[in-house]
Amino acid sequence: MSPPTRKRKESPGETTAKTTKKRRLTQTEDAGRLRVSVPPARLQQQLTLELLAEMLHYAALGTGNGAQQPSWCHLHRQKDIKAVNVVVLDGLTQCLFYKHFLAMQHLRTDYTTRLTFTPSATDIPSGIFSSEVPESVSSCFAQRDQESNQLRDVLRLHPVIRKFGTQVKGLTAYTLTKEERIKRHFPVRGVHGFEDFVSTESAAVTDSSPLYGLDCEMCLTAKGNELARVSLVDSSGKCVLDELVQPPNPILNYLTRFSGITAAMLQPITTLVSDVQRKLLSLLPRDAVLVGHSLDNDLRALKLIHPHVIDTSLLYTKEFGQKFKLKVLAEAVLGKQIQTEEQRGHDPMEDASAALQLAQYFINAGPRQVVERHIKELWGESLTVSKPTDVRPTPATKFADVLKRSGQSVTFIGKRADISINPSNQQWHSSDKEVLASFRRQTAQLSFSVVQFSSFSDHMKNSCLQQEHHHQRLRAHLRHMCVVFAGPFPPGFGERDVKRLFRCCGAVRRVRMLPTTHRIHAEIEFKLLEGAVLAVKTLSGHSVHGQHIQVQRPVHESTLDLDLTLDALVQGPLNVNRVHVMRLKPNLLQAPFACAPSEKELTEVFGRFGVVERVLLPVKPNGRRARHATIKFQSPEGIGAVLGSSEELRDQSPDGHFPGLCFMEVKNGFL
């Protein structure tokens, strides 16, 4: 056996380098995903309908349409957004959310950014759709409308524009439909004359499906033109198949001038059309799109049926159905010379590659750019600019109108209501169950939608007499979570003394003395749930003027599941790798408070336990810093190191910083 290897101890410099590298990797991962980041100071502020609309404007339109980043948050990688769906749970209050916190697992785990929304007099869906877009957005669309009104007459009437429009589209917009393939004499399953043709196993195509260039050369036989050579290239132009084929019938003319096939080339060949068919079936993916020039002739020669095809002779169309030769298109569009006089016949590999590149160029550039760039050399015309009109179009200012002008669909799904969009864009349902089913059926087709669930709100409206009482019960439920009972206190111990004692655990909202016949107790309500938790953990058993006090929670129906709720809060995504820090004085009654620490000082203190990602140190309305903070580490190891060293930090005051710190592994601001 070889002796055990000893782990080399890392030097401080190596540790720092590894930590820095890990931090950069984490920041790179965060920067590479679609997310919303909110500054810590904004988390405690309420969100209005105007601010919500501001974020939706940028999410749906982006900088390309003149929208700017919202003022209260930062939306990362907006260009990756495919659709925006707003779900409104009408009547769900913050109080109700935390009352049923344990039951709402998906809401509390899937949505990690929680802000308080201020209800407005305007209905939320109407407020979103009718919100005014910034002037930069309206000006951008007004300029586009002006350019559209000055569209060149020749361009507007061009056959390519009339057929395909001006927008850049994916490849699925240019694949031939079944009716078009029948009209153009492509082999189609079930059509007379193609009964003995082989059909490929195909699946639905998308804009990301692979393209394959195909070209065939034929010889004249006793039965007409039959396959003599086939070439296939993939989307990168790489050859995946190039085969000579022996026609089954006697050859009358090799058509060498066009095909390049000679008798000597075919003499040793034993490959038949059926062999080529089997190879193509094994090579082509189920969602492959075949590209060729006059591709119908090639597929008939192959005796092959394939439903997904793009024909470049039909992309670069002329008036009255006339077609360009592949050689002309390759020279004018690609700048390539093919089928030259020096060649003996056509090279199917070269032709397949040229057809593929022509299709890729048309798809990527779009019909308008293709026409504008090549109208003179292909169609023999010029673009004459019409005189600009003096009448400027009215700029779009409503969000719903701007969305439509940008080509996006606008949809409202919910109960029938007076929503400020066209009724044709509204889908009314009588129940939330139907609303959800409708949304699920068409999620992939929605560009911008607002889905409103209103059954709970309707229930509250029907019981309006009980609504205020219900709201008060919910508020009382949340207050009970932040309340502790403490005592007994020494004689003469008053409300001010209790507040001075307990504010070391967190901001105290209210103190109510509970004098009894023999002893004094107090009810303390904290502003933060952490304060109540810390008070129970750290002050129970503390000696006050020689008398030990007990700190406990009130026994109430709202606190029966409190331990489970606290565990769920601690394990929730909002609290990952976070520790709550509270200043404690060495002597709780006599020693005065020192000045509150700064973010920089807290980062220095806790940085030796792990990489500190963020320090959240709230600021009071008077501008003074609060005495509690939240430290977020990049890894759970930092949390463990801090909690394991809590006694050392409290008692020994390492580095002379802040003796008496108390720690709790939860995030501040639960409620």
Residues 96 and 243 both lie in one domain: no
Same structural domain, 428 and 533? no
What domain count does the chain have?
4
User: What is the pLDDT at residue 584?
Assistant: 39
Per-residue confidence (pLDDT) for residue 328, from 0 to 100: 93
At 205 the pLDDT is 93
CA angle (244 as vertex; 242, 248 as ends), nearest 5 = 140
Q: Which CATH number is 324's domain given?
A: 3.30.420.10
The reported pLDDT for the residue numbered 445 is 83
- The pLDDT score that the predictor gives to residue 220 is 94
Say whether both 326 and 190 belong to one domain.
Answer: yes
Q: Which long-range contacts (CB under 8 A, 24 or more apart) does 146-153 make?
A: 146/388, 146/392, 146/393, 149/389, 149/393, 150/385, 150/386, 150/388, 150/389, 151/386, 152/383, 152/384, 152/385, 152/386, 153/384, 153/386
Q: What is the pLDDT of residues 639-652, one digit of tens each?
A: 777 777 755 555 44
Question: Among 442, 462, 482, where does a domain finish?
Answer: 462
- pLDDT value of residue 110: 78
- 595 lies in some domain: yes
**What is the predicted pLDDT for the residue at 240?**
96
Which parts of the chain sit beneath pLDDT 70? 1-32, 143-154, 341-345, 383-396, 458-475, 517, 557-558, 583-597, 619-627, 646-671
Q: What is the predicted pLDDT for the residue at 671? A: 30
pLDDT at 647: 57
Among 417, 444, 462, the domain-final residue is: 462
Nearest to 215 by CA among 258, 262, 278, 183: 258
Check which CATH number belongs to the domain holding 597 and give it.
3.30.70.330
Task: Confirm whether 144 is domain-assigned.
Answer: yes
Q: Is residue 489 part of a domain?
A: yes
Give 161-164's long-range contacts (Cβ < 8 A, gap of 24+): 161/367, 161/368, 161/371, 163/317, 163/367, 164/315, 164/367
500 belongs to a structural domain: yes
- Position 458 scores a pLDDT of 67
Residue 6 located in a structural domain? no
Q: 540, 560, 580: which is the final residue of a domain? A: 560
Query: Is the residue at 16 inside a domain?
Result: no
Domain that holds residue 487: 468-560
What's the pLDDT score for residue 307?
95
Instruction: Report pLDDT for 649.
Output: 56
CA distance 594 to 607: 22
